[in-house]
Amino acid sequence: MSITTVAVNTPFTRQKARELKAGDRVLISGTIYAARDAAHQRIYNIIEQGKPLPFPLEGQIIYYVGPTPAPPGKIIGSAGPTTAYRMDDFTPVLLKMGITATIGKGKRGDKVIQAMKQYTAVYLAALGGGGAILHKCIKAVQTIAFEDLGTEALRKLEVENFPAVVAIDSYGTNLFERKPK
């Protein structure tokens, strides 16, 4: 398996997701959305109620992060990924509605992997424990919904060369199930 580094810009199309393979390194530039458990529950509830969402889902990337407060002179604090499986109950619906990639750490459940294959999406793994490094790739931050959730509010992030690895591709190839060579 050869590992390549791919520049990914947003919006992130299903065609681009189809081109990525498990193990590829990506450098993401553009807009991504930061949401964790509580924000996912609220987004899901809005979908169930048939109300307008606070951001368009088509071609978007969701980063599972609840950044720490910004220190003086900075736009954001540490911004490392949180465990992805906590969003597994909500992810298939979001993929169906247009999300093409999620970023987190750790494994995903079978329902999510099946939905990724069905809707042509990928799961990207970011460096767990690397929040102090990853925050340097975030160039702008805007809270767009659920401000009452504090660090778990829904945020729009502008990123430049944000590094991640394709942990599960749109064909279901899963790095977490491969044996090391």
Distance from C-alpha of 124 to C-alpha of 162, rounded to nearest angstrom: 11
Evaluate whether 124 touches 167 at the Cβ level (below 8 Å): yes
Identify whether 113 is part of a domain.
yes
Report DSSP state, residue 10.
Answer: S
Q: What is the pLDDT of residues 34-67, one digit of tens each?
A: 999 999 999 999 999 999 999 999 999 999 998 8
Structural domains counted in the chain: 1
Identify whether 140 is part of a domain.
yes
Identify whether 18 is part of a domain.
yes
Query: What pLDDT, on a 0 to 100 scale, did the predictor assign at position 70?
Result: 86
Identify whether 180 is part of a domain.
no
Query: What pLDDT, on a 0 to 100 scale, did the predictor assign at position 179?
Result: 56
Stated pTM of the model? 0.93
Residue 87 CB-half CA count within 13 A: 33
Q: What is the pLDDT of residues 81-127, one digit of tens each?
A: 889 999 999 999 999 999 999 999 999 999 999 999 999 999 999 97
Identify whether 151 is part of a domain.
yes
| Omega before residue 11 within 30° of 0, cis | yes
Q: Mean pLDDT, the chain, as a whole number?
A: 92
Query: What pLDDT, on a 0 to 100 scale, did the predictor assign at position 64?
Result: 95
- 2 phi/psi in degrees, rounded to 5: -90, 140
Distance from C-alpha of 61 to C-alpha of 151, rounded to nearest angstrom: 19
**How many other C-beta atoms lie within 10 A of the C-beta of residue 132?**
12
Give the range of the structural domain holding residue 74, as residue numbers without chain letter: 5-174
Q: What is the pLDDT of residues 72-87, one digit of tens each?
A: 988 888 888 889 999 9
Mean pLDDT throughout 139-145? 95
CATH number for the domain that contains residue 150:
3.20.130.10
Evaluate whether 6 touches 21 at the Cβ level (below 8 Å): no
Identify whether 179 is part of a domain.
no
Identify whether 144 is part of a domain.
yes
Cα–Cα–Cα angle for 179, 85, 33, rounded to 5 degrees = 110
